[in-house]
Amino acid sequence: MSNSTTRTHPAHLQGFATPLPPFAVPDLLVPNALAEDEREWVLQAPNVWFRPLMFNVTQGYFVNILRVRKTGVLSRHRHSGPVHAYVLKGRWYYLEHDWTATEGAYAHEVPGEVHTLYVPEDVPEMLTLFHVTGTYTYLDEQGQLLGYEDVFTKIEAASKHYEAVGLGADYVKRFIR
């Protein structure tokens, strides 16, 4: 979704109205990343939602905000690619590490890592922006495969959700590049 707001620049800044190069994909602005409209939040498990910001189908990554209103173990998973995380609210940690990601923290999760996401009991709401490349492979405690997620499963889930809440299945397309 291009930001097509018409602005009047001072005369000496007029040259900044440079068009995109041919074949470039449209830019993307999500003005309300922490959407108040509940329809923007896709339920992925009881009391766990994600808010799509960007689905990149050519580089195989997605950017979203995870919202969690439950505590304890969320999932055990393995990453095939890197993850960048920025904590907007609350805090969480991985059972496998001795650090805690608190509000304002940035974390980098490395490809190949298996970890178990845990939200402490005194955190009523956790919000974290995740930039996820590749696949989440979900595992149980014995290391057995439970399922996987990637940009394509996220798009499908979001599309179904938007259709169900009346925004339409195609609403998801605004996030795809």
Q: CA distances (Å), 4 to each of 1, 21, 28, in order?
A: 9, 17, 11
Alpha carbons 134 and 40: distance in angstroms, whole number? 23
Report the nearest approach of Fe ion to the CB of residue 134 (Å): 11
Residues 10-49 that bind Fe ion (CB under 5 A): none
- The letter for the amino acid at 162 is Y
Report the nearest approach of Fe ion to the CB of residue 77 (Å): 6
Q: Which is nearer to Fe ion, 40 or 109 (CB)?
A: 109
Q: Which of the ranges 43-51, 101-109, 143-151, 157-165 carries the binding residues for Fe ion, by CB under 5 A?
A: 101-109
Q: Which is nearer to Fe ion, 109 or 150 (CB)?
A: 109
Candidates 4, 68, 25, 30; CA nearest to 172 is 30
Q: Which is nearer to Fe ion, 96 or 170 (CB)?
A: 96
Report the nearest approach of Fe ion to the CB of residue 10 (Å): 46
Count CB atoms within 10 A of the CB of residue 142. 5
Angle formed at CA 98 by CA 96 and CA 104, multiple of 5 degrees? 110
Report the nearest approach of Fe ion to the CB of residue 65 (Å): 15
Q: Which of the ranges 34-42, 44-52, 58-66, 103-111 carries the binding residues for Fe ion, by CB under 5 A?
A: 103-111
Report the nearest approach of Fe ion to the CB of residue 112 (Å): 11
Count CB atoms within 10 A of the CB of residue 15. 8
- Spell out the residues 6+ positions from residue 6 whose beta carbon is closer than 8 angstroms to its own: none
* Residues within the interface to Fe ion (CB under 5 A): 109
